A and B are shown apart, each in its own frame.
Chain A
Amino acid sequence: MTGNNQKWLDNNTFHHGEFWDILKLVEEKEKKGLKISLCIPTLNEEKTIGKEVLILRSELMERYPLVDEFAVIDSGSTDKTLEVASNFGADVYLASDILPEVGDKRGKGENLWKAIHQLKGDIICYVDADISNIHPRFVYGLVAPLIRRDEVHYVKAFYDRPLNYSSGLRASGGGRVTEILIRPLFSLFYPELTNVVQPLSGEYAARREVLEMIPFPIGYGVETSHLLDLYEKYGLEAFAQTDLDRRVHRNQTTNALGKMSFGILQTFFNRLHAQGKIDQMPDMETFYRRFEVEDNVYNQIAQEVVEEERPPMIEIEGYRNRNN
């Protein structure tokens, strides 16, 4: 490991326990005149959204006013996600109602992107909706480095990731796409970014001024693109990461992870080309193909995965007008 990498790890890797004094964080936030928005993107999350809204809102808005605004941005849930979230006091928005003039695309990245327009905060913290062991540390652990260190622009979460099976929790085994796909790719093309322990974690906080400057893939590639684009613009020093201990989440099938990897690769190769790391790009297929076997008959399944991207929010007229 090079000296620079070690220095970054030493200086920019935190543990949430360092920020236990939330009251102090609130004071520092107010002193700097910062506003913090919390966004949970959802699609059919009625089982976990109630607890997330209840705990985060009451601990980080009522007890300690660290978060100034709390929104659930939904992709059109057909279950009770919106009812439950609203019941516990979150501001609830349909992504399709935000900036309607730019249309509606389906994907988590769309919700994250539209949150930049909808929310007012100087810092936006994104937390996935499927965390069954939600705790305030999932927010204060991420926004604290941004409050404390002006040079940090983007903070990623990392954690132990036991998988939730019907038979109980199974240790580790999470982060398969990270270990099999992302880490080898970063090692090949962006070795400094391998210092980010969990590049695909769905929990991160960032300053508005950097979020509005980068494009957002609407699907699987959004986390990867953030890292690549911000690294290109600001270098590793703009990043920090916080250990949030344990995060219990749903297990995904290998097939689902394959589809996810297919989407991420599209995003990745597009950036390799855009950043001049590879000269020529062939036309890439948009069908992810895999096999299913039934009664000794092999069937190929093809699913279309197109990683559409939203442009940097700053380029959207409605957003610029809002700021004016």
Chain B
Amino acid sequence: MTIETMTKDAALESLLKEIPSLIESLRENRETYLTDAVLLGEIPSPTFREKDRVRLALDRFRENGLEDPDIDEFGNASGILPGSEGSSSILVMAHADSVFGPDVRHVLNVGSDYITGPGIADNAIGMAAIVGLPKLLNKLGIRLKDDLLLLINTKSLGVANLEGSRGFLETKQRPIRAGICVEGAEQGRLSYSGLGALRGQINLNLPGNYDWNRFGAAGAISHLTRLVGQIMEIPVPKEPKTKMVFGEIHSGSSFNTSPRSGRLRFEISSEGDDVVDEMETQVNELCEQYSMETGLLVQMEVVAKRKNCGIPFTHPLVKTTRTIMSEAGITPAVDPSTGDLNSIILAGHPGVTLGLTSAENLREANETIKLEPLYSGMAQLITLIRAIDLGLCEL
């Protein structure tokens, strides 16, 4: 029976029935993606310096027989697994950058049921899943109608402001049926909306003629902590849901020298774009006021800003994804994304972000992924690709 004669429900039911055997096949073929996770993960790939890791991904695209393997002007690697019809594409992507610099020892350890090492969860295993897809689909005997457009994108994290994925989607003119962002962790993650967010950096400097005898005079660290205290007084609304995180503070170099400069990094995220704008204005005003009152140079710099976007909870892509996750034994946890999903949705395509497995010590040098959940995590990804290919995720 072909899809033309089957109802969408029956087609989905048929895919769901295959999930248990798919999980077993993915367990048997785990070398296909675990090896790449280790080889990719052992290449340092901090944001803006992903070149070496992307190069290996491109080599793998070539070795796995993708069409048009290419590195674009943004440093992204992409390739196409042609479908039997090829009238549209399914975009599956993972970011190549990591929070760990080259000074961190990138050595991964492999145990029977885990892999440990910096960046294995975020996002070496996610990349490996993408890179290994052509071989896996071939081994599993799965042939898609759509082209599978695989992307290892750069410049996703921190100040990069999704430059890699945005650049790719703005310049790659292909009909895209839907997009899937793959993250190593956390399994169960389901994002179908991008959260409005602002990432800011406050630079505080004492001028050359700073008067240390002035009332309230202090070094940069004291000033930064006072400023943080004042920023924390800004009301953070519960509705629309809003969050402010102070992520990094940097100043000073010794025990007993008052530093003359400091830096504070923070993120405001909110389901309301107006709230983000308003809080940005308030932080800016506080900086100005602090500058005037203390004689310091205090400046806020917006390093990344994006608007809310998303597809509805009731969108067939989200609904189908939830059904697949449940069938694979995965409990969905809805979580708005501040990552590359924004680029997909803002480019006008429906998309979701999935997590592959469970992880511990995220963004620590001993970051660890569990292997057992990974097989169902991979099964959800492949089943979702098949469901999109069968047209089961469209309005």
Where the two chains meet, the residues of A that have a C-beta atom closer than 8 Å to any C-beta of B are 46-48, 50-51, 54-55, 57-59, 62-63, 80, 83-84, 87-89, 132-133, 135, 168-169, 248
Contacts and interface: CB of A to CB of B under 8 A. Distances in A.
Interface of B: 31-32, 34-35, 38-39, 42, 63, 105, 107-112
B374 to A, nearest CB: 14
Contacts of A46: 111
A55 B42 CA distance: 12
15 contacts: A46-B111, A48-B109, A51-B108, A51-B110, A54-B35, A54-B38, A54-B110, A57-B31, A58-B31, A58-B35, A63-B63, A83-B112, A88-B31, A133-B42, A135-B39
A227 B31 CA distance: 36
B35 A55 contact: yes
A51 B120 CA distance: 14
A131 to B, nearest CB: 10
Contacts of B111: 46, 50, 80, 84
Contacts of A50: 109-112
The residue in B32, B39, B108, B110 that gathers the most chain A C-beta atoms within 10 A of its C-beta is B110
Given A63-B63, A80-B112, A54 B107 contact: no
A168 B105 contact: yes
Contacts of A132: 107
The residue in A55, A83, A87 that gathers the most chain B C-beta atoms within 10 A of its C-beta is A55
A48 B32 CA distance: 19
Nearest to A80: B112
A163 B161 CA distance: 38
B38 A55 contact: yes
Contacts of B112: 50, 80, 83-84, 87
A48 B108 CA distance: 9
A54 B109 contact: no
Nearest to A50: B110
Contact of A248 (B38, B63, B107, B110): B107
Contacts of B110: 50-51, 54, 84, 88
Contact of B31 (A48, A83, A89, A248): A89
B133 to A, nearest CB: 15
Given A57-B31, A58-B35, A47 B105 contact: no
A133 B107 CA distance: 7
A79 to B, nearest CB: 11
Contacts of B105: 168-169
A7 to B, nearest CB: 35
B14 to A, nearest CB: 30
Nearest to B63: A63
A59 B109 contact: no
Contacts of B32: 58, 62
Contacts of B108: 51
B106 to A, nearest CB: 9
Nearest to A135: B39
Contacts of A248: 107
A132 B63 CA distance: 25
B57 to A, nearest CB: 15
Nearest to A134: B38
B340 to A, nearest CB: 28
Contacts of A59: 35
A63 B132 CA distance: 12
B194 to A, nearest CB: 36
Given A55-B35, A80-B111, 20 more contacts: A46-B111, A50-B109, A50-B110, A50-B112, A54-B31, A54-B110, A55-B38, A55-B39, A58-B31, A58-B32, A59-B35, A62-B31, A63-B63, A80-B112, A84-B112, A132-B107, A135-B39, A168-B105, A169-B105, A248-B107
